[in-house]
């Protein structure tokens, strides 16, 4: 694993594509990852349903790498701090679901987690610009949230370029994450647009050797990524 904060790119496999009843063994297959991406879905904010804090607490206790929790849930004000309290290194909630994203990010940071904010493909990023320093990560969804195995949406790339330009202008260290349809075929264009943190579900857990897939994705992304 690359140490936290080291310049470069991060590959965060999504356990949505893992075998849920063999989670401990699945986690052991991705120890070359930077973080494990944990998709929490509530069947309200998105049509799908995964798991909640009890399961994430066990993943936290078992995982060889830190947790990157992605909350696709309504009312993150009520639930997000609990994930930070159970020890997740990073907690990302959706701006569309939050009553006050800046206040919630401050609460997450106060607990000791990295605070992330996510935007769906149709949500503009400009309103986040003036608050960029309040977040440790912005997640630009590259598919509609809810399901793994969907096709990457290249039309989301201008949002990433705009965020990268704004981050550069401000000298911000914010991480720019992409999630959905990231594979050996698509990762280079996301890196070129400014992403530095890559979620990959099927491309990692669908591979015969997940650690080799992680290493290959990291090399493809690093090749195209221009450090800020």
- Binding residues for ligand DX5, rule: CB under 6 A, are 14, 16-17, 37, 39, 70, 143, 145-150, 179-182, 199-203
The least distance separating Zn ion from the CB of residue 37, rounded to whole angstroms, comes to 6
Question: Would you count residue 68 as binding Zn ion (CB under 5 A)?
Answer: no
Task: For residue 174, give Cα distances in angstroms to 69, 116, 164, 228.
Answer: 17, 9, 9, 10
With CB under 5 to 8 Å by kind, the binding choice for 194 among Zn ion, ligand DX5, none is: none
The least distance separating ligand DX5 from the CB of residue 72, rounded to whole angstroms, comes to 6
Cβ-closest position to ligand DX5: 201
If the CB atoms of residues 7 and 154 are measured against ligand DX5, the closer one turns out to be 154
If the CB atoms of residues 39 and 136 are measured against Zn ion, the closer one turns out to be 39
Task: For residue 151, give Cα distances in angstroms to 143, 185, 203.
Answer: 7, 11, 12
Active site residue 136: no
If the CB atoms of residues 39 and 166 are measured against ligand DX5, the closer one turns out to be 39
The least distance separating ligand DX5 from the CB of residue 169, rounded to whole angstroms, comes to 28
Q: Which of 34, 136, 179, 196 is catalytic?
A: 179
Question: Would you count residue 70 as binding Zn ion (CB under 5 A)?
Answer: yes
Quote the CA–CA distance of 47 and 61 in Å, as a whole number: 28
Q: Which stretch binds Zn ion (CB under 5 A): 36-44, 75-83, 96-104, 206-214?
A: 36-44
Active site residue 179: yes
* Residues carrying an active site annotation: 39, 179
Contact footprint for Zn ion (CB under 5 A): 39, 70, 179
């Amino acid at each position: 694993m690359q140490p936290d904060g080291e310049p470069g790119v991060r590959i965060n496999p999504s356990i949505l594509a893992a075998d849920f009843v063999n989670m401990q063994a699945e986690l052991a297959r991705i120890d070359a990852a930077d973080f494990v991406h944990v998709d929490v879905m509530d069947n309200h904010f998105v049509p799908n349903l995964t798991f909640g804090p009890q399961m994430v607490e066990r993943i936290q206790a078992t995982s060889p790498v830190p947790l990157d929790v992605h909350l696709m849930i309504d009312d993150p004000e009520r639930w997000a701090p609990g994930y930070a309290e159970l020890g997740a290194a990073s907690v990302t909630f959706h701006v569309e679901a939050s009553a006050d994203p800046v206040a919630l990010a401050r609460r997450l940071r106060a607990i000791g987690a990295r605070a992330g904010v996510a935007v769906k493909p149709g949500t503009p990023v400009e309103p986040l610009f003036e608050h960029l320093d309040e977040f440790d990560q912005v997640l630009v969804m590259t598919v509609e949230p809810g399901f793994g195995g969907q096709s990457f949406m290249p039309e989301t790339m201008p949002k990433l370029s705009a965020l990268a330009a704004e981050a550069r202008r401000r000298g911000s260290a914010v991480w720019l994450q992409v999630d959905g349809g990231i594979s050996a075929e698509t990762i280079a264009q996301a890196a070129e647009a400014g992403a530095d943190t890559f979620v990959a579900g099927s491309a990692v857990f669908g591979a015969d050797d997940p650690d080799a897939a992680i290493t290959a994705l990291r090399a493809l992304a690093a090749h195209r990524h221009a450090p800020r």
